[in-house]
Structure 1
């Protein structure tokens, strides 16, 4: 069943591969608490008054963003499977 053409399916395949690589690396760096991503954390303003609360909020934010990157990478993997299937269908016909 052909859903999209050969150029679009190839483009989606390449974008999916890049998305998986990028999000997997970002998820890994957030999981190991890389200081390079500290500006991307979502920390509530009231957590800035106490050091322990701030560190807990920072740890929670790192974990949540790492999980979100993993979910997004999995969605890109689904897109890769569908677009790869379309590349195969277009090359077969």
Structure 2
């Protein structure tokens, strides 16, 4: 008698695919934030007043780029956890269907 899976076989496959996409997308996005891509300037969480008080210093902007990159890498790590969870669910369903036949 094995452990009961928490989600169905189709949901576990869907979650696996979404997790793979999330890992790839957030890793690439984090890499582009890490290299301070100008295309992502509008996406960093900067406070205009604080930036103005710092005389529009680029070190403030670089700190915000790096903070956002770390956030992307953390989110990618969370997707890795869900990827392994979904894969375990798939294996449980495969094992259960093998034992039934």
Distance in 2 of aligned mates of 1:51 and 1:15: 39
Residue 51 of structure 1: CA displacement?
3.2
Distance in 2 of aligned mates of 1:14 and 1:27: 20
Whether 1:48 and 2:89 are equivalent positions in the alignment is no
Distance in 2 of aligned mates of 1:89 and 1:28: 35
Distance in 2 of aligned mates of 1:29 and 1:7: 33
How many equivalent pairs are there?
91
SS in 1 for 2:92: helix
Whether 1:72 and 2:70 are equivalent positions in the alignment is no
RMSD across aligned C-alpha pairs, in angstroms? Answer: 1.1
More helix by share: 1
Query: Which ranges of structure 1 fall in alignment gaps of 5 or more residues?
Result: none
Distance in 1 of aligned mates of 2:92 and 2:17: 16
Whether 1:82 and 2:68 are equivalent positions in the alignment is no
Structure number, greater radius of gyration: 2
Distance in 1 of aligned mates of 2:62 and 2:33: 10
Residue 91 of structure 1: CA displacement?
1.2
